[in-house]
Amino acid sequence: MNEAHLHLFLNHIPILGSLFGLVVLAVGLFRQDNGVVRTGLVTLLVAAVLCLPVQLTGEGAEEVLQGVAGVSKPLTQAHEAAAELGFWVLELTGCLALLALLLTQRANLLSRLTVAGAVVSVVLLARAGNLGGQIQHPEARPGFIAPSEK
């Protein structure tokens, strides 16, 4: 198993984990249920931690794909830039979640800031995932026309 395999295996975890954590945290804040809020915060913290191996295997995955026919260098670079931005926003969101878990007096404010960070994280990571998918899947690229439609 090479780094491309690991990257593909792990890359959905931060996207889906941050989305799940966002939903759970938002529901907990809406219902004013501290247990659900804590679950959302922990989920976002775990998503941030699990984003580390995804980020660390990205370069190796890129190296594996160098020279492979149909792999677009501009798409690879766009994916890398989007993924790095999403990574750092999710890491900041994870830090906010950790602070909210540790600082009970400011937990409500920090939880609300964590929701905002999670919204941005989900959007950025979903964009990075979409761009990453386009690298090896031309059918996911804008303007793709299936051979049967030509």
pLDDT at 66: 82
Q: Look up tokens 């900041």; give the residue.
A: 92
pLDDT at 112: 94
Whole-model pTM: value is 0.86
Give the length of the chain: 150
Answer whether residue 117 is part of any domain. yes
Would the pLDDT of 96 be above 90? yes
pLDDT at 144: 64
Distance CA 38, CA 128 (A): 27
Distance CA 43, CA 32 (A): 17
Answer whether residue 84 is part of any domain. yes
Answer whether residue 68 is part of any domain. no
Do 128 and 83 contact (CB within 8 A), yes or no? Answer: yes
Answer whether residue 147 is part of any domain. no
Answer whether residue 133 is part of any domain. yes
Answer whether residue 129 is part of any domain. yes
Write the DSSP assignment of 69-93 as a string of letters: TT--HHHHHHHHHHHHHHHHHHHHH
Range of the domain at 107: 3-62+73-141
Do 90 and 51 contact (CB within 8 A), yes or no? Answer: yes
The whole-number average pLDDT for the span 55-82 is: 85
Answer whether residue 150 is part of any domain. no
Computed over every residue of the chain, the mean pLDDT equals 89
Q: Which amino acid is at 100?
A: A
- Looking at the structure of the chain, the number of domains it has is 1
Which residue in 137, 13, 4 sits closest to 58, CA to CA? 4
Which CA distances in Å does 53 have to 13, 62, 116, 142? 10, 14, 24, 29
Answer whether residue 11 is part of any domain. yes
